[in-house]
Amino acid sequence: MRTAPAGPEPVRRHDHPAPALGSLGLFTVLLGAALPLVDFFVVNVALPTIDRDLDAGPAMLELVVAGYGLAYAVLLVLGGRLGDMAGRRRLFLVGMAAFGITSLACGLAPDAWTLVGARVAQGAAAALMLPQVLATIQAATRGPRRARAMSLYGATAGLSMVTGQVLGGVLVAAAPMSSVFGESAGWRSVFLVNVPVVVVGLVLAARAIPETRADRPAPVDVPGTLLLALALVTLLAPLTEGRAAGWPLWTWVSLALCPLSAYAFYRVERRADRLGRVPLVPASLMRLDSLRRGLALVVPFSVGYGGFLFVIAVVLQQGLRLGPAAAGLSLAPMALAFFGASLAGPRLVRRYGARVVTAGGLIQAVGVVVLVLTVHRSWAGLGPWGLLPGVAIAGLGQGLQLPVLFRIVLSDVPPEQAGVGGGVLTTTQQAALALGVATLGTLFLALVPALGMRDALVVTLLAQLAAVALTVGLSLRLPRTVG
């Protein structure tokens, strides 16, 4: 009896790993997602003590924040592409290990310039690690489990930003006085606390995260990578450093170069696509309606969110004279409300779809209005309890928006482009957060000498309210159903 010839051996798809991402693996990648975002904001509360201990000055303090944010934003898309090529689990492990080492370098920095250099390296390590989180979720989960994982990722991202400032305040106030570090133990602890967390994360990642990679990984688009980096640096560097440096000539030259480098990036990417190469950001990805419309909302949301967290950190410590712990804990109601809304989000999305984002924006707007009225009427003697209603309502609205937006942005991204898609999303979010710190922060600090801190805060909150109104309007254009 003749047997039929064996067919060709089936192609193994690396983006459909077995076993899939389990609960422990999901916890581990979410831990990796939390670390970079916590560290972007954790230093806000620690900046006054860094200034006193290292005699840093305003411009150097800006570099401590901006150096991390720039390296992080510039390299995120490249980090996603490298994960698609070399394996997302492998890049996650490398990025997390590097994040732990650079956190140790930050915590042991003997002077301000060393701290800035370590922060830049820490941002680069974060850019290797974070895109692998979204890519692994996209490639190793399916159906309702993916929806739940994406909701948890969005919750983790939003919660981490607020938790960063809460944790920073608590650590600065509670760190033990040591014979080694003396009074600097407080700010050093906000970096050193990462080290044991990273060790735990590496052990868990080695055991619980499956390896995934793209079926046909494309080589790195060097011209596109360099031009994207140039566009981001020429935009964010002058905005973050300009005010503290007195707006010298280089800041204006840099801002003038930004649109030129962005246009050059667009042309190079289009040309690569026409020639059959794979650009850094594939055109097929940007043609996805869900991705484009979702990113359009992520930008104003993150601008307002990042700017608010920076400004409120300054107000609480310098305007209301709260200690680091009280300043950090003042935002705890926002974090708790955000977390509660994030947990309820998946059920609400199943029933109401993308209209949950619209409702969240309206609730956030109410919270901002409550904060404006509270600050205007009760500035004298204002403390954590007075701020509680406004920040809690705003946090509730934010928690209904961000997790759903992340799900929408990545809902139609194919698994083989999961790393690039995650890199595009996180780059957009990070650049917008840094832009919010730069624009709303600069607006607030520029208004303080003329208006005083109370009225400067009111104007800044009204500017944030305009960003919230924009997100509400754009949310009406989102696809009604959420994948």
Average confidence (pLDDT) per 10 residues, the chain, 483 residues? 45 47 89 87 78 78 80 83 85 94 92 91 92 85 79 79 74 59 72 92 91 74 85 84 79 92 89 78 78 89 87 83 77 85 81 88 94 88 85 91 84 74 81 83 86 90 92 86 67
323 φ/ψ angles, rounded to the nearest 5 degrees = -70, 170
Q: Which amino acid, one-letter code, is at 204?
A: L
What does the alpha-carbon distance between residue 167 and residue 192 come to, in Å, rounded to a whole number? 13
* Upper half-sphere CA count for residue 311 (Cβ side, 13 Å): 33
What does the alpha-carbon distance between residue 450 and residue 444 come to, in Å, rounded to a whole number? 11
pLDDT of res. 393: 94
Residue whose tokens read 């560290």: 39
pLDDT of res. 1: 45
Taking alpha carbons only, the member of 28, 436, 334, 167 closest to residue 342 is 334
pLDDT of res. 174: 66
Judged on CB neighbours under 10 Å (0-12, 13-18, 19+), 137 is buried
What does the alpha-carbon distance between residue 123 and residue 99 come to, in Å, rounded to a whole number? 8
pLDDT of res. 177: 47
pLDDT of res. 16: 43
182 φ/ψ angles, rounded to the nearest 5 degrees = 60, -135
pLDDT of res. 11: 38
Taking alpha carbons only, the member of 281, 301, 20 closest to residue 154 is 301
Please tell me whether residue 178 adopts helix, strand or coil conformation. Answer: strand
Judged on CB neighbours under 10 Å (0-12, 13-18, 19+), 164 is buried
What does the alpha-carbon distance between residue 438 and residue 428 come to, in Å, rounded to a whole number? 15
258-276 b/e (C-beta count within 10 Å ≥ 16 → b): beebbebbeebbeebeeee
**Beta pairing partners, 182:** 178
Q: How far is CA 476 from the centre of its chain?
A: 24
End-to-end alpha-carbon separation of the chain, Å? 50
What does the alpha-carbon distance between residue 115 and residue 107 come to, in Å, rounded to a whole number? 8
Task: List pLDDT tens digits, range 134-166.
Answer: 888 888 887 778 778 877 887 787 778 777 777
Nearest-10 crossing angle of helices 112-140, 143-174: 160
pLDDT of res. 12: 42
What does the alpha-carbon distance between residue 302 and residue 437 come to, in Å, rounded to a whole number? 10
Residue whose tokens read 């007195």: 246
- pTM for the model stands at 0.80
**Which contacts (CB < 8 Å, 24+ apart) does range 362-366 have?**
362/397, 362/472, 363/393, 363/394, 363/396, 363/397, 363/400, 364/393, 364/394, 364/396, 364/397, 364/398, 364/401, 364/468, 365/397, 365/465, 365/468, 365/469, 365/472, 366/393, 366/397
What does the alpha-carbon distance between residue 327 and residue 322 come to, in Å, rounded to a whole number? 6
DSSP for 318-343, please give it.
IIS---HHHHHHTTHHHHHHHHHHHH
What does the alpha-carbon distance between residue 398 and residue 382 come to, in Å, rounded to a whole number? 23
Q: Do residues 479 and 408 touch, judged by C-beta distance below 8 A? A: yes
pLDDT of res. 176: 53
pLDDT of res. 366: 95
